[in-house]
Amino acid sequence: MKRGYFYLFGFLLLMGFDTLAQVSFKYAGTQALPVAASLAWVLRVFGQPWVYGAVIGYIGAFFTWMSLLKHAPIGPAFAASHLEVVSVMLLSVWLFDEHLTAPRVLGAIAIIAGIVCLGLAESREHVAETGSAQA
Amino acid sequence: MPAAPAITHLVAGLWLLNVLIDTGGQLAFKAAAGDPHAGDGLARWKHMAARPWLWLGVGCYAIEFLVWIAFLSLIPLSEGVLLGSINIVAIMVAGRFLFGEKLTRLRVAGIVLVTLGVAIVGLGG
């Protein structure tokens, strides 16, 4: 039971860091508009605070991921590490007045189903590789 | 808020660039980490740092960071993260060809579903 809480907290933390990174990327990009392949654009990107939110999100996600992988089963961990699309979508409705159009909702459902399949595939492979050692 | 703008050539180009660089970076890290002569602990890191793969991976990530910011600044975030899911597919397919990783039926199903989802979002907006 304790282990269950550890995973749940870990996955939520991972999702939180990933979400922070994506939202920060969006803010950073919007404030650095217009996009140009120039040093001026790069300086605009690094000249406002949001880009550092993205860096913190990335670093936080990296260390959370590495700690989770020590104990968590790889399949669910893989799936959870990509499920930030859900939290990011919901947040962008609230923060950026975006709309959950039918194609976005349908596409998200297909993508999440695909991620779950890939997570299951990882689990099975992992069991196949380590199963003999555990048996 | 007005409706989302259509995907322009610039957005499509940045998306493609992001997939290519992300996949290249992941493969470079895989090549660096999978070197059987690398040893352990600090020696392993020294071994990796003396070869180009690790640095190629780091370079890819640095460029990808900027490409992704440029990409997201041009389209809605909800659409951007969904379109970015294609990276998972690209890496698995590349791993199949370069490292001979298995594509089981469940993996193929996952790849097809994610690709389908990205196509729906990309074409439908």
Does any CB of chain A come closer than 8 Å to the CB of residue B20? no
Checking B105-111 for CB contacts under 8 A at 24+ apart, the result is B106/A117, B106/A118, B106/A120, B106/A121, B106/A124, B107/A117, B107/A118, B107/A121, B109/A114, B109/A117, B110/A114, B110/A115, B110/A116, B110/A117, B110/A118, B110/A121, B111/A114, B111/A118
Q: What ipTM does this complex have?
A: 0.85
Domain carrying residue B55? 9-124
What's residue B44's pLDDT? Answer: 82
In a domain, B118, yes or no: yes
Domain count, chain B: 1
In chain A, which residues have pLDDT < 70? 1, 127-135
Q: What is the pLDDT of residues A82-107, one digit of tens each?
A: 888 999 999 999 999 999 999 999 99
Residue B2 pLDDT > 60: no
Q: Taking CA B57 as the corner, what is the angle to CA B53 and CA B58, rounded to the nearest 5 degrees?
A: 120
Please report residues of A whose CB lies closer than 8 A to that of B117. 106-114
In a domain, B46, yes or no: yes
* Token pair in block for residue B80: 């951007």
* CA atoms within 13 Å, Cβ hemisphere of B33: 9
In a domain, B1, yes or no: no
In a domain, B4, yes or no: no
What's residue A134's pLDDT? Answer: 45
In a domain, B14, yes or no: yes
What's residue A70's pLDDT? Answer: 74
Please report residues of A whose CB lies closer than 8 A to that of B102. 125
- Interface list for A 9-28 with B (CB within 8 A): 22-23, 25-26, 28
Q: What is the pLDDT of residues B55-94, one digit of tens each?
A: 999 999 899 999 999 999 999 999 999 999 999 899 888 8
To test the contact with chain A by mutation, choose from B74, B78, B82, B89 the residue with the greatest count of A C-beta atoms within 10 A, namely B78
Does any CB of chain A come closer than 8 Å to the CB of residue B8? no
- Interface list for A 42-71 with B (CB within 8 A): 42, 45, 51, 54
